């Protein structure tokens, strides 16, 4: 069996930064630290951080007074920020800088007096955070059909922003529908969609041209991982999203000569290696890596974690 690894795959810079924030917070301030929601959408990552002393909670009221508090990579609403400030919780914000950029764009468009449209998936933590970033109604859409159902006059000044982890192709179609629907439309360049999302999707499209089956390592609630599997389906390939090696049904690959393997942006490389070992149960495995983008992007940590003497204090109400 030949196993071809997509390049790039796995952790992006935003995920690396978020995990580093949790680990370095534990090192500097001691366990436990409290994280609102999963730091990233991956159970392996979350379990590993729990073992080191991180406690993951759904809401701020589950965090003890004075405890180090971390916001997840997906971002939070302004109401959550204000609630933490009101309690004086010492906060480290692990929001991905690319998500923070969407928040800033959203506020800018609303300040211009435009009706804001968010292209994204209802219920996703990133979407919930972005919806709560502006003091105005936001129209959430996800498909071209949703554009047609918007109850806005054609000449309404509107602006759009996007969930960072969406499909580039699907977002392009929705934006095209918005341009056809409204006369006064502004929005960020399509390249503002997360670089990691774009690169991983491009790599999987290339991968699908030369394999018999596609395996995507990632969580079921990971938007970008689900999209990678969907690309394989579009190519007519048997395509499976697996959380880890234990989720792999060897019958999926038993008679396949070439297996394509990739990982979503929050899936660790250790799990990819475990999947390869599981594949060795059915065949001799030759592993190759396709040519692709070499990512060298990194994001800075909060200053309290960059400078040894800086202390994290609760924000004043």
Q: pLDDT per residue over 7-59, tens digit each?
A: 999 999 999 999 999 999 999 999 999 999 999 999 999 999 999 999 999 99
Task: Compute the average pLDDT of residues 206-222.
Answer: 97
Residue 150's alpha-carbon distances to 11, 48, 136, 154, 165, in angstroms, are 36, 44, 16, 10, 23
Q: What is the CATH number of domain 98-192?
A: 3.40.1010.20
What is the token pair recorded at 308? 């040894």
- pLDDT confidence band for 315 (50 / 70 / 90): very low
Residue 126 falls in the annotated catalytic set: yes
At residue 218's C-alpha, the angle toward residues 25 and 102, to 5°, is 65
What phi, psi does 107 have (nearest 5°)? -65, -40
How many CA atoms are closer than 13 Å to the CA of 139, on its beta-carbon side? 17
46: helix, strand or coil: helix
240: helix, strand or coil: strand
Residue 217's alpha-carbon distances to 13, 39, 116, 159, 307, in angstroms, are 18, 18, 34, 35, 35
Order of strands, edge to edge, in the sheet holding 91-93?
54-57, 33-36, 69-71, 91-93
pLDDT of residue 307: 79
* Helical (H) or strand (E) element with 287: strand 286-289
In this model, does residue 124 exceed pLDDT 80? yes
How many other CB atoms are there within 10 angstroms of residue 216's CB atom?
A: 28
Active-site choice (50, 59, 82, 126): 126
Cα dihedral value 18, 23, 24, 28, nearest 10:
140
Query: Could you tell me which of 93, 86, 96, 126 has the C-alpha nearest to residue 25?
Result: 93
101: helix, strand or coil: helix
Place of tokens 């003497």: 309
141 has which bridge partners?
119
pLDDT of residue 173: 93
Indicate the CATH number of 2-10+195-289 among 3.40.1010.20, 3.40.190.10, 2.170.270.10, 3.40.50.2020. Answer: 3.40.1010.20
Question: Distance between the two ends of the chain, CA-based, in angstroms?
Answer: 61
Question: pLDDT above 70 covers what percent of the chain?
Answer: 97
Strand segments, DSSP code E, in 167-257 are 185-186, 213-217, 239-242
Each residue of 221-252: b (16+ CB within 10 Å) or e?
Answer: ebbbbbbbbbbbeebebebbbbbbbeebeeeb
Q: Is the separation of the CB atoms in 297 and 13 below 8 Å?
A: yes
Within this chain, domains 13-97 and 98-192 share the same CATH topology: no
pLDDT of residue 190: 72
Average pLDDT, the chain: 94
In words, the CATH class of domain 13-97 is alpha beta
Cα dihedral value 297, 303, 307, 309, nearest 10:
-160
In this model, does residue 275 exceed pLDDT 50? yes
Q: Say which range, 84-88, 164-168, 252-256, 282-286, has the weakest mean pLDDT.
A: 164-168
Domain regions of the chain by residue span? 2-10+195-289, 13-97, 98-192
Q: Is the separation of the CB atoms in 262 and 207 below 8 Å?
A: yes
Sign of the four-CA dihedral 56, 57, 62, 68: positive
Place of tokens 């509107």: 158
């Amino acid at each position: 069996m030949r196993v071809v690894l997509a390049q790039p795959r796995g952790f992006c810079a935003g995920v690396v930064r978020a995990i580093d924030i949790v680990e370095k917070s534990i090192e500097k301030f001691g366990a436990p630290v409290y994280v609102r929601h999963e730091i990233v959408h991956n159970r392996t990552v979350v379990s590993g951080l729990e073992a080191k002393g991180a406690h993951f909670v759904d809401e701020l009221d589950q965090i003890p007074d004075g405890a180090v508090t971390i916001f997840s990579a997906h971002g939070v609403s302004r109401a959550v920020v204000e609630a933490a400030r009101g309690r004086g919780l010492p906060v480290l914000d692990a929001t991905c800088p690319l998500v923070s950029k969407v928040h800033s764009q959203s506020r800018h468009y609303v300040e211009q007096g435009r009706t804001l449209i968010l292209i994204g998936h209802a219920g996703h933590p990133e979407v919930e955070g972005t919806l709560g970033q502006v003091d105005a109604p936001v129209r959430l859409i996800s498909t071209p059909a949703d554009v047609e159902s918007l109850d806005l006059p054609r000449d309404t000044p509107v602006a759009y922003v996007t969930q960072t982890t969406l499909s580039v192709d699907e977002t392009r179609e929705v934006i095209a529908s918005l341009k056809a629907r409204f006369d006064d439309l502004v929005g960020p360049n399509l390249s503002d969609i997360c670089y990691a999302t774009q690169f991983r999707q491009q790599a999987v499209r290339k991968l699908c041209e030369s394999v018999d089956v596609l395996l995507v390592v990632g969580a079921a609630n990971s938007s970008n991982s689900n999209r990678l599997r969907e690309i394989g389906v579009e190519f007519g390939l048997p395509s499976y999203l697996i959380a880890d090696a234990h989720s792999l049904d060897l019958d999926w690959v038993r008679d396949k000569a070439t297996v394509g393997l990739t990982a979503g942006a929050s899936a660790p490389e250790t799990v990819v290696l475990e999947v390869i070992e599981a594949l060795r149960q059915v065949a001799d495995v030759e592993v190759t890596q396709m040519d692709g983008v070499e990512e060298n992007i990194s994001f800075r940590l909060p200053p309290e974690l960059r400078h040894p003497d800086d202390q994290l204090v609760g924000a004043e109400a």
